[in-house]
Amino acid sequence: MRVFKFFLIALTVAISAVYPARFPEVVWSRIYDGGGDDEAWDLAVDSRGNVYVTGYSISVTSDYRTVKYDEFGNMDWNKVNDHDDDYDRAFGIDLDNSGNVYVFGRITQPNPDYYCRYHVVKYDAYGSKLTSHSEGNNDEGLDIAVDQHGNIFVTGENRMPSSNSNFWTIKYDEDFNVV
């Protein structure tokens, strides 16, 4: 038995010397600091290696925050979507075949009923806001996907104060018409 254990240890050491453990190398790393509390919730990568990160930044209120990094980790643009509500938060991001960026989450008005709606912001690849769309009644947007035909799929939960939460999924065309 001792010979067998010795053999296993010697074999492990020999294999480790010939095939050392390889860990992925960090190519680049970035920290975003908007001066308050910043939370990233989702990211997407396009065919050129650009990285789009979304979440929200909190100072006095919270607003959607979306940042684009090029393939080398340099920040290309940084966008804030302040919908004049107090608690706006982005949770999902996706890209279409034309390079447009879709950011999805919720906008909330802090009244006694905690009224929130789901909200989509569409940017072009250069960070110019193209359009936005809000809808719902106590609906929180949690994720988004865009298919190869430009259809937009959103999902989230309905938070009615007096009942259980439910989840919902909606399919829109590129003009935000329900399909």
Does 179 map to a domain?
no
Average pLDDT over residues 157-170: 80
Q: Read off the pLDDT of residues 71-110 as tens digits, 9 standing for 90 and up.
A: 999 999 998 877 666 678 888 999 999 999 999 888 877 6
Question: Distance between CA atoms of 146 and 133, rounded to whole angstroms?
Answer: 15
Does 2 map to a domain?
no
Residue ranges of E strands in the chain: 37-45, 51-58, 62-69, 75-81, 89-95, 101-109, 115-123, 129-135, 139-146, 152-158, 166-172
Q: Which pLDDT value is given to residue 39?
A: 85
Count of positions (residues) in the chain? 179
Question: Distance between CA atoms of 140 and 108, rounded to whole angstroms?
Answer: 9
Does 44 map to a domain?
yes
Q: What's 167's domain CATH number?
A: 2.120.10.30
Q: Read off the pLDDT of residues 31-74 as tens digits, 9 standing for 90 and up.
A: 888 888 888 899 999 999 999 999 888 876 778 889 999 999 99
Question: Distance between CA atoms of 150 and 173, rounded to whole angstroms?
Answer: 7
Q: Which residues of 70-99 are buried (b: 16+ CB within 10 A; e: fewer)?
A: eeeeeeeeebebebebebbbbbbbbbbeee
- The model carries a pTM of 0.82
Does 20 map to a domain?
no
Q: Which pLDDT value is given to residue 29?
A: 93
Alpha helices for the chain (secondary structure H): 2-18
Q: Which pLDDT value is given to residue 23?
A: 75
Does 23 map to a domain?
no
Q: Which pLDDT value is given to residue 2?
A: 53
Q: Which pLDDT value is given to residue 11?
A: 53
Query: Domain count of the chain?
Result: 1
User: Which domain covers residue 97, as residue numbers?
Assistant: 33-172
Sheet holding 152-158, edge to edge: 139-146, 152-158, 166-172
